[in-house]
Structure 1
Amino acid sequence: MSILSLNSVVKRFGGLTAVNKFSAELQPGELCALIGPNGSGKTTIFNIITGVYAPTNGKVFFDDRDISGKKPNEIANLGISRTFQNIRLFKGLNVLENVMVGHHLRLKSDPISAILQLPGYMAEDRKMHTEAYELLESVNLSHLADKQATALPYGQQRKLEIARALATHPKLLLLDEPAAGMNPQEAEELMEFILHILKTFDLTIFLIEHQMRVVMGICPRIIVIDHGEQIAEGAPELIQNNPRVIEAYLGVTENA
């Protein structure tokens, strides 16, 4: 049974069709990439999955449940988390506190209990602190727990953003261009990091990425879209030699 299924999804903005009859399935534990030229609709698809946009037509199913048009917080509570193209860490918080923000999704205490620091909330807060530190240990970032988040090197900030997403206890993690702006060494470390969390946290990962070295290096299956439509799907070696993919990226056919 697939963990994520998009069935003939369409998204229109006025007269512009950003996504056109897009269908895809992800299996539990899979690491799959979604690639395509700039403006091809990749992030729009992620926004539909996470509830930022409701599909104009079509359905999205997660864990055999129709999530089409649900609100982002509802979808997050069901077990989908994401990162963004631009790093969105909290500037005034340290590394540990940024991860603790992710744990707030699972808090049961109401805001009044938090303001008054009632015993129930304080117990949850201590548990949240412990779990956040343990999560940092599991991704080898615990030695940075007290550091200002935005003072970290770029590559570590990316890893921290992913760690914060993991704090929500997702079943499905969406990574939107995690290697953007990274140098080759940082990209190599990120590849190892993604494979590590895939195994450690028993996740399914859907990845948008422009660095083909990252995509081809770690993703067993790749989906390619252009102008909002799927044009290819398969293993890296098949995608690399697909004439439609070459044309979409280069603007010419393979024999041109």
Structure 2
Amino acid sequence: MLRLDRVTKKFGGLVAVNNVSLELEQGQLAGLIGPNGAGKTTIFNVITGVYRADSGKVYFMGIDVTKKKPHEIAALGIARTFQNIKLFHRMSVLDNVRVACHFRLKASVFSAVLDLPKYAREEREMTKESLDLLEAVGLKQLANESAASLPYGYQRKLEIARALATRPRILLLDEPAAGMNPEETAELMRFIKRIRDEFGLTILLIEHDMKVVMGICEKITVLDHGCVIAEGSPKEIQNNPEVIKAYLGSGAYARS
């Protein structure tokens, strides 16, 4: 469904991503892990068009998206969240989701200015869909609250709901458990698995919390200094000597 073919991205003399190849199958819940600075978020930025690869190709559903712009890639069905939550804090919870639906509106600016029936109908449909998404993630009762007023865990869910509003086929989650306590993390794990199944998603996540990665991912790719050093099931990754040396260390997961 998603394929990176020998992707390299440089920033001046720094090679952030070096000849990385990666494949993601439909319906898969996969993880991308590695030390800080390994190139994980850079890969997300290349996939979503924020950065353009210096060499190599990115394919989505067989389509070469390497040179496409972010909004074009989003329209094809790739959505993402960010390591640092990027909500519209002054807007309501509902409007944060509604705004993600706008690129699918077909009514013209002229129709919007005059509030013509076609535009009004699309606005009603967009609002209903947004409320349905908020219900699906357990936030409907907070629809009219300010996004800034939500607890941290709820802000994460809202960011994911906003991504879902683009009707993605692939969802990229950048450190979704960052800053969460153990109870919130456990709930997040259940939530990610549930939305994968309910929305028919393929999910690739970056995460430093190994309980999350080993608990829900079916396949894990490990980066170090911009290169793929291992790929496999959670058990294979836990027992891989290169991964233990570069990232996991001698902790519980390395010994299991």
Report the TM-score when normalising by structure 2.
0.95
| Aligned: 1:44 with 2:38 | no
In 2 relative to 1, CA 145–226 (structure 1 residues): closer, same or farther, beyond 3 Å?
A: same
| Corresponding residue number in structure 1 for 2:169 | 171
SS at match of 1:55: coil
Q: In structure 2, how many angstroms separate the alpha carbons of the residues matched to 1:173 and 1:246?
A: 28
In structure 2, what is the equivalent of residue 18 of structure 1?
16
Instruction: Give 1:31-110 correspondences, 5 Å limit.
Output: 31-110=29-108
Judged with a 3 Å threshold, the aligned counterparts in structure 2 of structure 1 residues 100 and 13 are, in CA distance, closer, same or farther, namely same
Residue of structure 1 aligned with 2:127, choices 126, 129, 137: 129
**1:146 equivalent in structure 2:** 144
Q: For the structure 1 residues 165 and 141, does the alpha-carbon distance in structure 2 shift closer, same or farther, using more than 3 Å as the test?
A: same
Residue identity (%) = 62
Which of 135, 156, 159 is 2:157 aligned to?
159
Cα deviation code 1:14-39 (max 9, x no counterpart) = 11111111001101100000000000
Q: Which runs of 4+ in 1 moved over 6 A?
A: none
* Distance change (3 Å), C-alpha of 1:105 and 1:208: same
CA–CA distance in 2 between the matches of 1:192 and 1:162?
14
Match of 1:111 among 109, 112, 133: 109
Question: How many angstroms apart in 1 are the aligned matches of 2:15 and 2:237?
Answer: 25
2:120 maps to amino acid: M
Shift of residue 114, structure 1, vs aligned partner: 2.1
Match for 2:90: what amino acid?
G
Match of 1:214 among 205, 212, 215: 212
Listed as ranges, the matches of 1:175-254 within 5 Å are 175-249=173-247
For 1:150 and 1:241, how far apart are their aligned partners in 2?
42
Q: Tell me the distance in 1 between the aligned counterparts of 2:42 and 2:106.
A: 32
Q: Which residue identity is paired with 2:96?
A: N
Mean Cα deviation higher: 106-115 or 163-172 = 106-115
Distance 2:71 2:175 in 1: 22
Is the Cα contact below 8 Å between 1:53 and 1:69 reproduced in 2?
A: no
Q: Distance in 2 between matches of 1:250 and 1:135?
A: 36
**Inter-partner Cα distance in structure 2 for 1:17 and 1:225:** 13
Alpha-carbon distance between aligned partners in 1 of 2:92 and 2:248, rounded to the nearest angstrom: 43
Cα distance in 1 for partners of 2:235, 2:139 equals: 34
Provide the TM-score with structure 1 as the length reference.
0.95
Computed over aligned residues only, the root mean square deviation of the Cα atoms, in angstroms, reads 1.4
> In 1, Cα distance between the equivalents of 2:113 and 2:82?
31
Q: Kindly state the Cα deviation for residue 140 of structure 1 after the two structures are TM-superposed.
A: 2.0
Following superposition, the deviation at residue 111 of structure 1 comes to: 2.7
Distance in 1, Cα, partners of 2:23 & 2:10: 22
Shift of 1:250: 6.2
> What CA deviation, in whole Å up to 9, does each residue of 1:125-159 have, x standing for no partner?
01100111111112222121122111011001100
Q: Deviations over 1:215-241 (max 9, x none)?
A: 111001100000110000111111111
Q: CA deviation at 1:244?
A: 0.6
Q: CA–CA distance in 2 between the matches of 1:13 and 1:251?
A: 29
